[in-house]
Amino acid sequence: MNTTLNKIACSKIIVIGLLFAQLISSCKKDDNFKPIPSPTPDNTNSLKSFKDYIFNSNELIFPDVVQGRILPNGKPNKANAVGWTHPSVLYFEQKWNNHKYWMAITPYPSAINEFENPTIFCSDDGLRWIEPLGIDNPIEKAPLETGYNSDVNLFFDNGKLYCFWRGVSIIDPSTGKRIEGRTLLYRSSIDGVHWSEKKVISSWDYYGIDLIAPSILKDADSYFCYGVSTGETTPGPYFTNYAIRRTETKNIDDIKVDKTLGYNLVNIENRPWGEYEEPWHIEAKKFQNKWYILASTTKNNQYGSAGRLFLGVSNDGINFKFGSKPICSLKYAYKSSFELYSSKKAGVLNIKLWRTSSTNWSVYYDEFSLEDYFS
């Protein structure tokens, strides 16, 4: 009898020990996950200041299951690494379809263009991302031949989520014929899972004016599309070859990349990146009646080489002033995304930053405050 009781007691001790070991192991696994504050003024005092902030970024966590589906049209996997770029993030304070954060992004393993297709994720902390249940990612598959998709941008309007992107040598869904040039397209969704058929709303030649990293927002009853044009024949005060342009329309389907249709130059009163750099990829947003552009730079007439991140502000959306130094001291930044929220302190702007690094095509999250950045 005592032997039986001893065996039972030992078994209980072993089970409790195993459970305790499992708990300790789980805690250790979670030690790398830092809680991310929600974007409210209440967190202002806990943020690090831009002036003394050293980036110790958290790398974004994406679901492993996606990796098996990013291959374009079942082609052999020529990639030897997982990579991501072109994040575009929207924040919903009250949640949209059960999540606070929604992201469009393009896979970019081994920097191979054919993998670069619009992919949708959602999150509740801005760091750990999942696929919306039931989605078929990427929402746009790779073209069958030499074309590709890039430069995604999320936009929300009247209860509908839009995913815009820039297509290169794609098939026009309305005609079935190849468009020999570049295009601006979108799909839309009311739940983030089921997406409409793609729609081409603008196309233009390979040479001349361009629209890199399109960024769409709405103000009053007008739609605005910002982007970088590489077809500038005359250097300007802040660029040598690549300028920022903007078009304004009353209908989202009427956005056109054409100088004759009001595709106007954005003015910047300073050139903080210096004479040997210029804008390369951007994201535009409106916050508290001001317009903001986050620009990644490139060496003149190059393609994202050694980029840095600068933030600009405007009262009218066409005349901008950028901070005199980058918001991130790290080089090799690529197209990145941001959200702004208010601070209790005057002259302070709180920012969430999803930063792409072109050294390893990974995306990192940081949150900090900018104090008197534009002065």
Q: What is the DSSP string of 185-228?
A: EEEEESSSSS-PPPEEEEEE-SSSS--EEEEEEEETTEEEEEEE
Q: Which two tokens stand for residue 22?
A: 């499992």
**Phi, psi values for residue 263, rounded to 5°:** -90, 85
Residue at 303: amino acid letter: Y
Q: How confident is the model at residue 73 (pLDDT cuts 50, 70, 90)?
A: low
The residue among 6 and 227 whose pLDDT is bigger is 227
Residue pair 71/348 in contact by the 8 Å Cβ criterion: no
pLDDT: is 27 or 202 the higher one?
202
Task: Check if the beta carbon of residue 311 is closer than 8 Å to that of residue 337.
Answer: no
Above 50 in pLDDT, residue 14?
Answer: no
Arithmetic mean of pLDDT over the chain: 84
89-123 per-position pLDDT tens digit: 999 999 999 999 999 999 998 888 888 899 999 99
Map residue 116 onto helix, strand or coil: coil
pLDDT, tens only, 306-329: 899 999 999 999 999 999 999 887
45 vs 112: CA distance, rounded Å: 42
Token pair for residue 362?
A: 């990974």
> Which pLDDT value is given to residue 50?
63
Q: Locate tokens 């696929």: which residue? A: 131
Rounded Cα–Cα distance for residues 241 and 233 (Å): 7
Question: pLDDT tens digits, residue range 252-295?
Answer: 999 999 988 999 999 998 999 999 999 999 999 999 999 999 99
Which of 123, 196, 187 has the alpha carbon at shortest distance from 155?
187
Q: pTM of the prediction? A: 0.85
Contact 356, 87 (CB under 8 A): yes
Question: Which is higher by pLDDT, 293 or 38?
Answer: 293
Top-confidence residue, 241 or 345: 241
Mean pLDDT along residues 189-218: 95
CA terminus-to-terminus distance, the chain: 83
- Which one has a higher pLDDT value, 240 or 47? 240
User: Does position 28 have pLDDT exceeding 50, yes or no?
Assistant: no
Share of the chain above pLDDT 90, in %: 61
Contact 186, 201 (CB under 8 A): yes
* Of 108, 133, 118, the residue nearest 88 (C-alpha): 118
Question: H or E segment at 320?
Answer: strand 319-322
Instruction: Give residues with Cβ within 8 angstroms of 143, minimum separation 6.
Output: 114, 149, 167, 169, 170, 171
pLDDT band at 19 (very low <50, low <70, confident <90, very high): very low
Quick one: what percent of the chain has pLDDT higher than 70?
A: 81
What is the DSSP code (8-state) at residue 175? T
pLDDT tens for each residue of 137-189 = 999 988 767 788 999 999 999 999 999 999 998 888 888 888 889 999 999 99
